[in-house]
Structure 1
Amino acid sequence: MQEAAIPSNEQQRLAHLQNLNILDTPSDEKFERITRLLCRVLDMPVAAISLVDENRQWFKSIRGSDLTETPRGISFCAHTILEDRTLIIPDALSDPRFADNPLVIDPPHIRFYAGHPLKMLDNIHVGTLCVYDTKPREMSDDDIQFLEDLSVTVANELKAYMLKSFFTV
C-alpha cells in the first residue's frame, strides 16, 4: 500500500479545514441530499463527502456505508486531494497504490473509486466528493462531469457553512 504524499500547502489546508467549523458536526440534510443524489444518478452503492483532516478522513455525509471516518494513511481521498482533477481507480486490486490497502482487502472491499477534490479558496483541497463500489467499474465522461459539477456544489455549501458559523458565533 502506498500512503498519499502530504500536500505542499498542508498547514494552510488544515487551517482552512478547521476554519470551516464543520468537523464532527451532526448530519445536515443539504449534504445528505447530495450523496443520495450521487448514488442514485451514478448507480453507485456508496457516495461520500469526505474531509481529510491531519490523521483521518471524516465523512460529513456518507450514503451506503456505516463508516464515519477512516485513518488518513489508508484513505483513497488523501490521494485525491493531491490532484486538480478526478481520480478514478477502475479496479483497486490492480492498482499497486491500493491493492493491499485494508479498505480493499477487508470490509468495505473497495474495488472501484472515483473522487473529485473539494476546492476552496487559493486552490486548497479540504476533501473530496467520492463514490465507490465493491466491483470494478468504469465511468462515462458524462458521469465524471456530474461528479465534478456536484463537487463544486459541495464546495460552495462548505463555504456557506463557514460563513454561517462565522456570523452566528
Structure 2
Amino acid sequence: MYRRHLIKGLVALGACRICVQAAQATSAHWGYTGPVGPEHWADLDKKNFVCSAGTQQSPIDINSAVKADIPHIAIGWHKGGGNMVNNGHTIQINMPQGSTLTRGDRVYELVQFHFHAPSEHHVAGKSFPLEVHFVHKDTQSGTLGVLGVFLTPGATNASFAALAAAFPELP
C-alpha cells in the first residue's frame, strides 16, 4: 500500500514545477479556497500567469493511470541538516547542498521540503492526511522539479516523529 501511494506521488514530479516557480516569485497572498484559491492564482499577481496556462499544474487530481516509459529515478538524500521555518503557509525545511534526485541523466539538488495537511493533491478525488513536497532544482538549467509523497497514518516512524515534534506553530 505504501509503495502505491509513493508511486502516485511520483507523478507529481514535474506537475508542480510551473506553479512552484510562480509561487516563489510572487508576494501576493494565496490560499486553497475562496477568492485566493487555485482558480484565482493567476489573477493574484501578474507573475502567476502560468497558473492559468495549463491543465495539470498544482493542485491536481490524479484520476487515471498512464502507462509511460520514464527515466529511472534515484534519490540520494543525506540525513540531518536543514533550517526549519514557518513561512506562513506551511512548515518548510531549507536544505544544505548535497542531497540529490537523479531522473535519467538529469541531476536535481534538494532545495527544501514542506508539508500540506490535508494533502494539496488528490487521487480519484481522495485527499490524504499529509503530503510532503520535496523541491529540487536542476543543477544544469535551474528549473524546479517537485517530488510529492502522500502520507497516511501507520506505524510510528521515529525520524518523522522527532521532526514533527520540532515543528513551529503556524500563525
Shorter-chain TM-score above 0.5 = no
TM-score under structure 1 normalisation? 0.28
Q: TM-score, normalised by structure 2?
A: 0.28
More helix by share: 1
